[in-house]
Amino acid sequence: MKTSEPLRIVGLAWYLEQDYDLLKSIFIDGDRLPATFDKWEKKAEELRKSRLAQGEVVVKAHINPRAFPAWCAAHGKNVDASGRMAYANSVAAEYARNLQKNR
């Protein structure tokens, strides 16, 4: 019997268009993000499709501008790329736990 390869689940920080400018102003490194939501979305979709093509399961970790700073503070993270990555990883881990629970 062939065993299946374990799922590779990754989280990607994801933004809603209506939140983009506010998020950029909240993030310590907001000036490093693309100037417009459309430019960010194009790059994010390219990354998402690339990860899917590699056989990964991609979980969009929507970042709420009102809740994210508090999440970062509670988890000892900065409100920057490292905090966004940690948040996306936690959302992906929760997704994986729910998959296991429902098997």
- Quick: pLDDT tens for 15-38: 999 999 999 999 999 999 999 999
**To 10 degrees, the CA torsion angle through 70, 71, 74, 76?**
-110
Q: Is the pLDDT of residue 2 over 60?
A: no
Q: Is residue 39 part of a domain?
A: yes
Question: Which residue in the block uniquely carries the two structure tokens 């969009």?
Answer: 60
Q: Is residue 4 part of a domain?
A: no
Q: Is residue 3 part of a domain?
A: no
Q: Is residue 96 part of a domain?
A: yes
Of the candidates 49, 65, 63, 68, the one whose C-alpha atom is nearest the C-alpha of residue 10 is 49
Mean pLDDT of 87-102: 92
Note the pLDDT of residue 1: 42
Q: Is the pLDDT of residue 84 over 70?
A: yes
DSSP secondary-structure letter at 10?
E
CA 86 vs. chain centroid, Å, equals 8
pLDDT band, residue 5 (cuts 50/70/90): confident
User: Tokens at residue 15, please?
Assistant: 């933004």
| Residue 48 burial (10 A CB sphere; 0-12, 13-18, 19+) | middle
Note the pLDDT of residue 89: 97
Q: Is residue 2 part of a domain?
A: no
Q: What separation, in Å, do the N-terminal and C-terminal C-alpha atoms of the chain show?
A: 19
Q: Is residue 53 part of a domain?
A: yes
Domain that holds residue 55: 9-102
The domain total for the chain is 1
Q: Is residue 83 part of a domain?
A: yes
When the pLDDT of each residue in the chain is averaged and rounded to a whole number, the result is 94
Q: Is residue 56 part of a domain?
A: yes
* Position 49, amino acid: K
